[in-house]
Amino acid sequence: MEALSKAIKYVLRGIVFAVYFPFYLLIRLISAVIDVLSPSIEWLFNKIIIPFVLALIKYIIVPVFEAASGPLEWLWKHAIKPTLIFLWKYVLYPVMYYGIYRTLFILWNHGLRWFWREVLLPVLRYSGIAVAWLFRVLGRLWMHIIYYPLRWGWRHVVSPAIHWMTREIIKPLLQWFRNLFDAK
């Protein structure tokens, strides 16, 4: 019986990993894009959106609320607040406590906690490991496909040509100009 429960647990882990991993990878890629775009978004907020909102609040919203504060205060004190207190004490709180909280508490203790500890937490850990491995492989591919060939081309083709041109053309030309314009 223990072997069957372990087999079911590992099958569930595999299924949850297969479902969860693409979303985890997508979230990691989106966070990388956000890290790249955040300076421009920050500038947009600091230079355009926040000054506009502050001016809107200062010149439109605050004067309207100052004009309507007297009647709204009376309405709040004598009608809205007592109604909200009654609704909370005798309608919303009992429904939320017995209908939602206690139901979720029983569901968590007798079903979902095992699934969380035995299936989801290992899947989360191995998803992080898989994404790190994938990024490591992509980094190695980038190094071998792009960086190393460009470095070799620079060291063996471009740099020797620049050094030869500097040594054989530019330095003699500069020496010739120096001699030509020398005051001696």
Average pLDDT, stretch 78-96? 93
- Residue owning tokens 């980094």: 139
Residue 51 confidence (pLDDT) above 90: yes
Look at 7 and 43; give whichever has higher pLDDT. 43
Give residue 184's pLDDT band: very low, low, confident or very high (50, 70, 90).
Answer: low
What single string gives the DSSP state of each residue in 69-116? HHHHHHHIIIIIHHHHHHHIIIIIHHIIIIIIIHHHHHHIIIIIHHHI
Look at 68 and 47; give whichever has higher pLDDT. 47
The percentage of residues in the chain with a pLDDT greater than 90, rounded to a whole number, is 48
What confidence score (pLDDT) does residue 163 get? 95
Residue 34 confidence (pLDDT) above 90: no
pLDDT tens-digit series, residues 126-137: 888 998 999 999
d(CA 45, CA 90): 44
Average pLDDT, stretch 157-177? 92
Task: Give the residue extent of every domain in the chain.
Answer: 1-154
Residue 183 confidence (pLDDT) above 70: no
What confidence score (pLDDT) does residue 58 get? 92
What confidence score (pLDDT) does residue 90 get? 93
Look at 145 and 13; give whichever has higher pLDDT. 145
Give residue 96's pLDDT band: very low, low, confident or very high (50, 70, 90).
Answer: very high
Structure tokens at 103: 């139901």
d(CA 150, CA 61): 59
